[in-house]
A and B are shown apart, each in its own frame.
Chain A
C-alpha cells in the first residue's frame, strides 16, 4: 500500500473521528448543564439521582460504557435497532462527557458571588433572565480552562470507538498497521491527533482572549 493510499484512508477515518468529536460536544455541553442543575437541585431525590449518574459515568471505563450502550438494547431488551453502531457511540460519549461537564459547570456556577444574584433580583430580573443574562456568560468565562482540558481529552478518547469496530481514525490505523505489519500508520494517526488538538487548543485560546475584555 502506498503512503498516499494509507493517508487517504486515515483522513477518511479522521472525518469520522471529527464527527464523533463535534456531535459529542453538541450533545454533552447542554446535557451537562442540565445534569449540573440536577446536582444543585433543592429536591433531594433529583440531587441524589444526578450524583449517582455522575459517579457511575466518571467511575467506570468509557470503553465499557460504549459496549453497554451498544449491546444492552439487544441483550437486555431484545431490541434490534438498525444502523445503531454510530448512534450508540454518540450516546455513550455524550452521556459520559455530560457527567464531567456537569461538575465543571457546577464549580463555575458555585463560584459566582452572591452579589450578582442579589443585584439582579433587586433590579427585577426573573430567575431565568438572571441565569441567562448575568450568570451564564460569566460562568462560561470562568470554566473555559477546564472545558479546554476535557475537549482535548475527548479528541483522544474518540479512539475508544475502535472497541465497537467503528471506522474512525484509530481503527483504520490499527487495521492498516496489522495488514502492512508496519507501525507507520499508527504514528501517522498519532500525528493527526496531535494536529487536531493543536487546532482545538488554538481555538480555545482565541475564545479565552475574546472573553478577556472584562475581569
Chain B
C-alpha cells in the first residue's frame, strides 16, 4: 500500500480494561485509504474490543483516536478525553460497522432498514435514498428482497442487508466484527464473496475474523492479536510464513 494514500484511521496507544482486567494494552494502528486490514487471534485476545473502541461503542481508558486527521479522543493527564458530542456525531459519519449478529431492525422491511438512517440522520431525500438502496441491493444480489422483513431472510441474506445498510451511509471505512461467525459454512461463503467484491472496489475495511483463508486472500495487511497486544503484523505472506512461533501455531490449527 503506497504511503502517499491518506490515513483514514489513526489509533495510538489505546488501553481498555473491564473490571480491572486489561483487554487492550497499548495498541496502535493506522489504516490508509483503500487498505483492507484483517485482525486475527484467539478468542479473548481483544480483537472485538479493539473494533468496539475504534467505533466508539466502548469508551477507551487511554490513548487517542482520529479519523481523517480529525481527533475523536485524546489522552490528557493519563485519561482519555472525547471531543464534544456534536463533533463526535460528525466523525461517526466516517465509518460503518457490520455486527456478528447483524442487528437489523426487525420491525422495518429490508428497504426501510437501508434507507431509514440516510433519511433520518443524513436528511437524504427519500427518493435518492431509495435509488441508492436499490443499487446496493442489486449489487448484493438482494433485489427481490426489498419488501421482505429480516425474519423472512436467511442469516447470510440478513448479513448482506446489514452490509447494505452500512454502505448506504457511504462511509469511508467499514468495520466488520466477525461477520460470518453466526453463519453456517454455506452462508459464510456468500457473505465473504460480498466482502471480497468490496475489497476489489478498494473499500477501506477492517475485518475481525476467524476465516484464515479469507483473511489471506482479501487482506493487504494482517494483524495477529493475543492477550491485548499486537503480536505480529504484516502482509498475508509474512504472517502465513511468520517466524513467530505463536502465530505459526495459531494459523496451523486452522489449516489442519
Contact = CB atoms under 8 A, between A and B. Distances in A.
Contacts of B105: 116, 119, 134
Contacts of A213: 149
Contacts, number: 54
Interface-centre pick from B57, B149, B150 (highest chain A CB count, 10 A)? B57
A133 B116 contact: yes
Interface string A109-124: 0000101101101111
B101 interface: yes
A116 B101 CA distance: 11
Contacts of B96: 122-123
A124 B116 contact: no
A118 B57 contact: yes
Contacts of B89: 124
Interface residues of B, number: 26
B149 A123 contact: no
A122 B168 CA distance: 13
Q: Give the secondary structure class of A's interface.
A: helix
Contacts of B121: 123-125, 129
B150 to A, nearest CB: 7
B17 interface: no
B103 A119 contact: yes
Interface string B210-243: 0000000000000000000000000000000000
A67 to B, nearest CB: 43
Interface residues of A, number: 19
A122 B107 contact: no
A133 B119 CA distance: 12
B117 A123 contact: yes
A214 interface: yes
B150 A214 contact: yes
A134 B103 CA distance: 11
Contacts of A134: 105
Contact of B103 (A115, A133, A138): A115
Given A133-B116, A213-B149, A124 B93 contact: yes
A118 B107 contact: no
A122 B92 CA distance: 7
Interface string B74-97: 000000000000000100110111
A125 B107 contact: no
Nearest to A124: B121
A123 B120 CA distance: 10
B29 interface: no
Contacts of B95: 122
A73 interface: no
Interface string B103-144: 111110000000011001110000000000000000000000
A119 B113 CA distance: 11
B99 A125 contact: no
A118 B150 contact: no
A51 interface: no
Nearest to A123: B117
A214 B107 contact: yes
B99 A115 contact: yes
B71 interface: no
A214 B106 CA distance: 6
Contacts of A215: 106, 151
Given A118-B103, A122-B57, 4 more contacts: A115-B101, A119-B104, A129-B120, A215-B151
- CB-CB nearest 8 A-B residue pairs: A119-B103, A115-B103, A123-B117, A124-B121, A215-B151, A122-B97, A214-B149, A214-B106
Interface of A: 113, 115-116, 118-119, 121-125, 129, 133-134, 137-138, 141, 213-215
Interface of B: 55, 57, 89, 92-93, 95-97, 99, 101, 103-107, 116-117, 120-122, 149-151, 165-166, 169
25 contacts: A113-B103, A116-B105, A118-B57, A118-B103, A119-B99, A119-B103, A119-B104, A119-B105, A121-B57, A122-B55, A122-B57, A122-B92, A122-B95, A123-B166, A124-B92, A124-B93, A124-B122, A124-B169, A138-B106, A138-B107, A213-B149, A214-B106, A214-B107, A214-B150, A215-B151
